[in-house]
Every structure is written in C-alpha cells, then in structure tokens.
Amino acid sequence: AQKITQTQPGMFVQEKEAVTLDCTYDTSDPSYGLFWYKQPSSGEMIFLIYQGSYDQQNATEGRYSLNFQKARKSANLVISASQLGDSAMYFCAMKGAGGTSYGKLTFGQGTILTVHP
Amino acid sequence: GAGVSQTPSNKVTEKGKYVELRCDPISGHTALYWYRQSLGQGPEFLIYFQGTGAADDSGLPNDRFFAVRPEGSVSTLKIQRTERGDSAVYLCASSSATSGGASHHEQFFGPGTRLTVL
C-alpha cells in the first residue's frame, strides 16, 4: 500500500518570497514516481512537477523545484518568488510500480497556500 | 489541442436516483482514470481503463458504482441508487500510457463533475 502525508493544512507566504510545501510518502515499491499538482479555486488539477525514484537530480520546472530526499522518503515542493496567482491547494501524489498501485495516483490531503501582497 | 472534458459540470439529483457522468479524454490517450474528491480532501482513485477494459476497479466503493469505456475513448461513470454520501466532485484523467513506477506519464485532469445528492 502507498501513502502520502502532507502535514501542513495551510501555509502563508509573502509575495516574492520562497515557500516549501512538505510531502512525505510511504511505499514498498522499488520504483515509483512523485508528482505535485496545483488546484486553484476553479477546481482543475494542474500538473506542476515530477520526480522519478531513480532520478539522480532534483526536478525543476521554472519557479518550482522538488527537494527529493529518498532516504527520508520526502518530496517537498519549493516555490520561489511567490506570486498572487500561486494561491491554491497543492497536492502531492505518488504513482507505484506494480500490483494494485500500478499507474494510479495516490494523493495526499493537500496544503492550501495563500500568498499575501 | 483539446483537453479532457467532463459533462455535466454540475449534477443535482435526489437520493435513490440513477446518474451518469461522462468523460471525454484527450484524443489518443489509451489510459483513463476516474477519481472522487470530497470537500477538503485529495482525490481518491476509483477505476482505470487501459483501452476498453477496466484494468483496475479496486477503488469503486460498492456495486452501485460502475464504469464503461466501450470504444476505448469516452467513458461513463454510472451510479445507481445514489446516496447523500456520494456527493463529491468526480474527476476524470487521461494519460498517453499506463505505466507504473518511475516512468513519467502525467495524468491530465478534466474540470470535474460536481455531484450533489439531496
């Protein structure tokens, strides 16, 4: 079984500052993928960034970077230079390697990020 | 190109009624997923299709829920004898491949159908 834990129900950040959203995971699969999605108040799920369990380097996509610490089973999202439009719910998710976890995403509870001007 | 579309965007029904929710995936995507998202929670997996067949329906909560994808494209999620606890946003996602583990095949989500059972 896979589990994603996001311990921060809500986070606040000042515009132009950086913020880290925490994510820890648990899995017995040797190969897995970690995803972050953004869900604005409009409801759509927007893919942000991906990290494979065998990737040697931390993933980056523009202002988003993923701080992947495999031994600690953590995959924190770092947003640099926050913008007002970053205010949304953020979900960490995992995709497993096989068995019943094959292909489907397991999501955490989410973190609501509010960016203050 | 067009993204994943879902209809209706909102559905209000009465307890005990039957509902159908439709998902139109991105053209050419072979994998299709249904998730359910309750208020303030993360999406929870219901079922996924590879082509026409349901490869994993382990997330369906009970036998009132059923989904089909007869031609490997559009999918319909069917809920019989709806209950108030079925109220949620039902999300559909599609992917260019069904692959597990560390392969990067992101799932593209539709806008969801908000189901309210009175």
CA nearest to B41 within chain A: A109
Is the pLDDT confidence value at A53 over 80?
Answer: yes
Tally of CA atoms within 13 A in the half-sphere of A98 that contains its CB: 4
pLDDT of residue A56: 86
pLDDT of residue B85: 96
pLDDT range class, residue B14, cuts 50, 70, 90: very high
User: Count of residues for chain B?
Assistant: 118
Structure tokens at B25: 């995936």
Beta carbons of B31 and B95 less than 8 angstroms apart: yes
pLDDT of residue A28: 86
Q: Is A43 on the interface with B (CB under 8 A)?
A: yes
Mutation for B interface: A5, A32, A42, A45, most B CBs within 10 A: A45
Does the distance separating the beta carbons of A31 and B102 come in below 8 Å? yes
Considering only A57-66, B43-52, B104-113, which range has the smallest mean pLDDT?
B104-113
pLDDT of residue B52: 92
* Closest of A109, A87, A105, A106 to residue A6, by C-alpha: A109
Kindly list the residues from chain B whose CB atom is less than 8 angstroms away from the CB atom of residue A25.
none
Pairing of strands B19-24, B10-13: unpaired
- What stretch of H or E contains A114? strand A111-116
Beta carbons of A23 and A6 less than 8 angstroms apart: yes
Mutation for A interface: B9, B45, B47, B92, most A CBs within 10 A: B45
Lookup result for tokens 């249904």: B34
Structure tokens at A110: 């989410």
